[in-house]
Structure 1
Amino acid sequence: MASTQRSPRIAVGPRPDDMFVRAVASGGGITVSLEESPDALIWTSGPDTFPAALPESVRWVQLSSAGVENWLTEGIIKRHPRVLWTSAAGAYSATVAEHALMLLLAGVRALPHHLAASSWAPEEFYPHLGTLRGATIGIIGAGGIGRALIPMLASLGAQTLAVNRSGRPVPGAVETFPVERIDEIWPLADHFVISAAATPDTEQLVGAEELAAMKPTAWLVNIARGSLIDTDALVGALTAGTIAGAGLDVTDPEPLPAGHPLWSLPNAMITPHDSNPPALRVPAYVERVVENVTRFASGVEPVAVIDVSAGY
């Protein structure tokens, strides 16, 4: 990207929140309105309130979400091919990875059974208790979240197998599989964390066949998008004991309606898509804005450029 040769003029929308105005200034930019022909736009909301048209002057748009499937589905990004779009991918990785570890450790240590107990009967829990020490965790989609999770798991004595699109080795993983070899991983790992992007290629990535290939002691954690798992197949596997349990921060459908079978299954843990709560998300996004405005002002490509063809 060519240097702007001046402090870039950057709009913040849909409202010029003071935190982001300060972030723009920290990165070397000047906050202006959309009507003042900005060079870039920092967006803090979703696609439903995004402007129908952008000024011709806008060369870069920063989005606040790590997943951009809704922006692609709505066609907003494709309508502006001259604009460089960046997501917040990687900005929230440590927070979400921590949540994934919490769900996995809670499952392996039989926390759902303990919480449901109404009497002191430790022997009832023994068949459900396990450990991550010495376990092998399959990370499906070893991007920012997966890479942040690997050292957390290593600190507990677990090793990881990673799956990514290219098969390029992921630091800290014992082995990295390209997505074409994903079928090999289901019987190999003890537990799984789903952290892949939601694209047409990853829809229902985990179905009945994949669940049947897992170990009966396996816990499946999803902190990506609900569409990556076939919900009906998961309910069937949890009911039949095909796998030990599931920890879900995301579901399909979402929100999960009252009365859905997943709510009543004793081996399912559900958190309402709060692995990245506002109190943690907003400061992390502010940091990303500072970083990318600094890069933009210096003529350096911002972090997390969206690849429209890949879907993230």
Structure 2
Amino acid sequence: MSTSRYDQPSTAGPLAGQHAAVLSIDVTPVADELRPTPGPIAILPTPNALFVDAVTAGGGVVAAISAETRAIVWLTSVNADDLAVHLQANPQVQWVQLPWAGVDAFAELLKIQDRPHLLWTSAKGAYAQPVAEHALMLILALMRRIPERVRATSWAPSTGESFYSRSVVIIGAGGIAVELLRLFEPFGVTTTVVRRSTAPLAGAARTVATESLDEVLPGADVVIVAAAMTGDTRHLIGAKQLALMKPSAFLINIARGGLVDTDALTEALASGQIAGAGIDVSDPEPLPDGHPLWSEPNIIITPHSADTPEMTAPLLAARLQQNVEAFLGSGGFVGVVDPQAGY
């Protein structure tokens, strides 16, 4: 979920195997007529030893991009135009692996390059555990008034609330939501999941469609934004939604900054409309020095660090190996992207 790059030398480090992917849907093989043709795999912009090893472990062959290339592993989200150039010059490529769970940085390219024999996969679900852990940390820190205490220079009367038996709304039903529901089990919270459909999500007390978001916000003690960023979800949380939340409620955003209207959030915090917020993402991002949010006493801002490169590199390597095996055999690709939907 970050914009840091994997095209520099690195290793998985001592934390390899610390986390595992969390998927919200079962993996099914792609249709035979849509299966990519196996062949050499190019790792771009620059091969990285960890991911070269992952391709090799999956049975694949890494080679410089050429007329023989059948797949591209793209390791950065800051040079989507360069990827477009490679795809334009190499129409024989039939599979592209993207590095992040969210693919909003590639939204236009996905639509332009949407063709029957080009399969896109992302890291969706791969980073769910570290991101969900970060969200839980933000919740507990805010409810226990840690922002106030880390700024304090003297003893004060005790303050704080417990997360036990609270009401939570999670916006989004992907791997992060699945992992959050697992982490919340010991706390006995009641969770409502907001998603595109009303299909139940195991572990949630209730599942509602996005159109019902405004109906469930007034009862929430904590609202967690964990949805995909698309044209339809920009500013999903705006002034209206913040006004519907309880003055004692907390907002957590560990998805994309654009899902929340920054100006509306700033005003809601300044006026006491909500009790606090924890954000790992912002709009704009990075959040500029001097922005009013930095001065709010009831917010925790982390620099898109819910899933650090040290955490995500081994997870992406595992996803890559799995998808290379699918590329060469089973067809059971994980994280298949719908180019038109943008996730």
TM-score relative to the length of structure 2 = 0.85
State the aligned residue count: 307
Give a deviation string over 1:293-312, Cα, whole Å, max 9, x none.
11111141411111122211
Q: Is the 8 A contact 2:110 2:339 kept in 1?
A: no
Are 1:174 and 2:209 counterparts? no
CA distance in structure 2 between the partners assigned to 1:52 and 1:166 by the alignment: 36
Q: Residues 99-110 of structure 1 correspond to what in structure 2 (within 5 A)? A: 99-110=134-145
Partner SS for 1:220: strand
Residues in 1 aligned to 2:323 and 2:188: alpha-carbon distance in whole angstroms: 36
Partner of 2:133: 98
Does residue 1:241 correspond to 2:272, yes or no?
A: yes
Q: 2:107 & 2:37 partners in 1: Cα distance? A: 32
Give the Å deviation of 1:276: 1.1
Per-residue deviation, residues 18-43 of structure 1 (Å, max 9, x unmatched):
21111111112111221151221111
Q: 2:224 & 2:114 partners in 1: Cα distance? A: 34
Partner residue, 1:78: 112
Contact 1:61 1:86 in 2 (8 A): yes
Distance 2:326 2:105 in 1: 26
Contact map agreement 1:77 1:85 (CA 8 A) in 2 = no
1:201 matched to 2:236: no
**1:1-312 equivalent positions in 2, closer than 5 A:** 1-2=31-32, 8-35=39-66, 37-46=68-77, 47-50=80-83, 52-54=85-87, 55-73=90-108, 75=109, 78-81=112-115, 82-121=117-156, 123=157, 125-126=158-159, 129-312=160-343
Seq. identity, %: 44
After superposition, the Cα gap between the structure-2 partners of 1:293 and 1:237, relative to the gap in structure 1 and judged at 3 Å, is same
Q: What letter is aligned with 2:83? A: F
In the TM superposition, structure 1's runs of 4+ consecutive aligned residues that sit over 3 Å from their partners are 1-8
Supply the distance in 2 between the matched residues of 1:143 and 1:187 (Cα, whole angstroms): 23
Rounded Cα–Cα distance in structure 1 between residues aligned with 2:36 and 2:84: 27
TM-score w.r.t. the length of structure 1 is 0.93
- Residue segments in structure 1 that go unaligned for 5+ positions in a row: none
Distance in 2, matches of 1:293 and 1:300, equals 9
Q: In the alignment, residue 147 of structure 1 is paired with which amino acid?
A: V
Structure 2 regions of 5+ residues with no counterpart?
A: 1-30
- How many angstroms apart in 1 are the aligned matches of 2:242 and 2:52? 47
Deviations 1:186-235 (A, max 9, x none): 01221111011111111111111111111111110001111111111111
- Please state whether the residue corresponding to 1:32 is helix, strand or coil: coil
Whole-angstrom CA distance in 2 between matches of 1:56 and 1:209 = 46
- Partner of 1:274, secondary structure, is coil
Describe the shift of the 1:32–1:77 C-alpha distance in structure 2 as closer, same or farther (beyond 3 A). farther
